[in-house]
Amino acid sequence: MSYPKNYRYTAEHEWVAAPENGRARIGITDYAQHALGDIVFVELPAAGAHLEAGQPLGTVESVKAVSEVFAPVSGTVTAVNTSLSAHPELINQDPHAGAWMVEVQLDDAAPLDKLMDATRYEAFIAEEQTGKA
Amino acid sequence: MSAISTPAEPRRTPLHRLHRQLGAKMVPFAGWEMPVEYAGIVAEHLAVRTRAGLFDVSHMGEILVAGPHALELVQHVTSNDAARLKCGQAQYSGLMTAEGTFVDDLLVHKLGDEQYLLVVNAANLDADLEHLRANNPMAAEVRDLSPEYAQIALQGPLALEIIKPFSPAPLATIPYYWFIQDRFLGFEALLARTGYTGEDGFEIYLAPEHAEAAWNALMEAGRERGLLPCGLGARNTLRLEAAMALYGHEINRQTTPWEANLGWICKLEKAEFLGRERLARLRQQPLQRKLIGLEMIEPGIARDGYPLFHCGRQVGQVTSGSPGPFVQRNIALGYAPVELATPGVELQVAIRARHARARVVPLPFYKRAPKP
């Protein structure tokens, strides 16, 4: 699966879509969903919650394990993808689009530039994979 | 997402190359690099319940106890009564401390009057060998045969049909927990009707150099019947639905068989064995805690180590928990005080910041339908 060019990525395998009117969607990457395996449960914050960059925003559970999802940027949650509670498997099927988790009103757009672009992220996961092989 | 760390130089089974080719996700487990899943845990789990699955369990340890004092040693260190075994019969048992707790759980196979093959958990192999040698005043022969065996488990309702053409042995007539030593694909093998999934099936022990040929032949024969290669992930969810204990979770050096619902492998009436005295004493006293089955009422998955609450007070904890892919409920095993260990009782599982309601249910969560 390809990594959208206009997204930004973290070393913890979250993505942030390009903001529109200061709002951006957040999700986890294809690499992350693959590493987790069958995803069966998702816990997300409520709309209105304030997220701090680097702090847990929720959890994703696969059959075998629980993983925290960290907020890649700071901001206030404006929308939550409620379809994930009934269909967490969407994260396995469509991690970069349909399975967005939350939309946030960014406190500040500048920190986005500190995150990886698609090219750097792909190099980063290639390195992680060889490290494990 | 949190990273998973990998320790240096894990051991590889003879099927390692095949797992890679099959696209398995490999993880460190008990010092080995093992496949955790191929197509996905849920698909693999359902294949075993409805068709068949093939597992590489070559990491398991095999210990031979032999000589004129073989039975004496096996009887001394294990809780079940190995004297009841006939040649060709296997038995689930506990390797016990002097306190009547578990060093390991194991399968004892009677190969002959002076030969017993013990199959033990990979993570405990060294400790088990040490325990056997330290408690062997009868000087029985104890030999680690683990390097001489690969082990492949074929599990599921179609297992017999898939394996049958590869051996001249009358496999259809072997009862559950019996085995036969015969040819498999022309190689010497031990074919046991045992497993860790709650399904019918076979565990095949053979020389590591023949493991690939055996795996490929079974895969080839089973593919169009829906046989899937299965990893440790599905092995764990399958054994959990069947409520089979996993060492380090439901049982350990602090657990007695009475608490773990394993009284049936603890034969006080046989001659002396390690821990017997304390176990006999404990038998006379009321149990403090007991292994229970839990089913989540509210959303959430109980995981190993999560605390259990009742009326605002912590009363125990979860030992294993996961979604049950076949039973389609979030299930868990855990310890709770005996007075709460009754089906229908409601407990709360502390899942991170919240408490989720769960109900005590009878075990196992899954039991296969008897053969028509």
| pLDDT tens per residue, range B282-332 | 999 999 999 999 999 999 999 999 999 999 999 999 999 999 999 999 999
CA–CA separation, B37 vs B19, rounded Å?
10
Phi, psi of A58 (to 5 degrees): 175, -170
Cβ contact B38:B228 at 8 Å? yes
Q: Does residue A64 belong to the interface with chain B, where contact is any CB pair within 8 Å? A: yes
Supply angle C-alpha B80, B83, B87, rounded to 5: 110
Q: Does residue A71 belong to the interface with chain B, where contact is any CB pair within 8 Å? A: no
> Per residue of chain B (372 residues), what is the pLDDT tens digit?
544 444 568 999 999 999 999 999 999 999 999 999 999 999 999 999 999 999 999 999 999 999 999 999 999 999 999 999 999 999 999 999 999 999 999 999 999 999 999 999 999 999 999 999 999 999 999 999 999 999 999 999 999 999 999 999 999 999 999 999 999 999 999 999 999 999 999 999 999 999 999 999 999 999 999 999 999 999 999 999 999 999 999 999 999 999 999 999 999 999 899 999 999 999 999 999 999 999 999 999 999 999 999 999 999 999 999 999 999 999 999 999 999 999 999 999 999 889 999 999 999 999 998 775
* DSSP 3-state percent helix, strand, coil across chain A (nearest 5): 25, 30, 40
Nearest CA in chain A to B37: A37
Best interface-test mutation with B: which of A14, A33, A38 has the largest number of B CBs within 10 A? A38
**String of DSSP letters for A13-38:** SEEEPPPBTTEEEEEE-HHHHHHH-S
Please give the CATH topology (third level) of the domain spanning A32-109: OB fold (Dihydrolipoamide Acetyltransferase, E2P) (2.40.50)
Contacts of B322 in chain A (CB under 8 A): 63-64
Contacts of A33 in chain B (CB under 8 A): none
- The pLDDT mean for chain B works out to 96
Q: Does residue A61 belong to the interface with chain B, where contact is any CB pair within 8 Å? A: yes
* Residues B1, A61: C-beta atoms closer than 8 Å: no
Q: Does residue B323 belong to the interface with chain A, where contact is any CB pair within 8 Å? A: yes
* Residues A61, B299: C-beta atoms closer than 8 Å: no
Distances (CA, A) of B336 to B247, B317, B347: 18, 7, 9
Q: Does residue A89 belong to the interface with chain B, where contact is any CB pair within 8 Å? A: no
Alpha-carbon gap: B238 to the closest alpha carbon of chain A (Å): 12
- ipTM for the complex shown: 0.85
Each domain of chain A, given as residue ranges in start order, spans 32-109
Cβ contact B246:B197 at 8 Å? no
Domains of chain B with CATH codes:
11-58+149-241 (3.30.1360.120), 61-142 (3.30.70.1400), 286-361 (2.40.30.110)
Q: How many CB pairs under 8 A join A and B?
A: 51
Q: Does residue A59 belong to the interface with chain B, where contact is any CB pair within 8 Å? A: yes
Q: Does residue B300 belong to the interface with chain A, where contact is any CB pair within 8 Å? A: yes
